[in-house]
């Protein structure tokens, strides 16, 4: 797991850059206790290790 700092934007773009799959934004949201993919201001995020087998975009119920 790595930590990054981003200024605004969204988790879709972060997931595309760091996990090579924008639909895995939910994984980043879950490890950072975020419910919204939109980021406001400067945010420090923990990024999970890439997992090509992870499903995308839907939180487990």
- In 1-61, DSSP assigns E strands to 2-10, 38-47
SS3 32: coil
- Residue 57's pLDDT is 61
Give 15-60 pLDDT, tens digit per residue.
Answer: 999 999 999 999 999 999 999 999 999 999 999 998 878 866 665 5
- Residue 59's pLDDT is 59
* Close Cβ partners of 14 (under 8 Å, ≥ 6 residues apart): 4, 6, 25, 28, 45, 47
Q: Is the dihedral of CA 54, 38, 60, 46 positive or negative?
A: positive
Domain ranges of the chain: 2-47
């Amino acid at each position: 797991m790595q930590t990054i700092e981003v200024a605004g934007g969204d988790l879709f773009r972060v997931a595309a850059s760091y996990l090579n799959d924008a639909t895995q934004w939910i994984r980043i949201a879950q490890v950072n206790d975020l419910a919204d993919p939109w980021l406001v201001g400067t945010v420090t995020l923990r990024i999970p290790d890439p997992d090509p087998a992870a499903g995308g975009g839907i939180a487990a119920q």
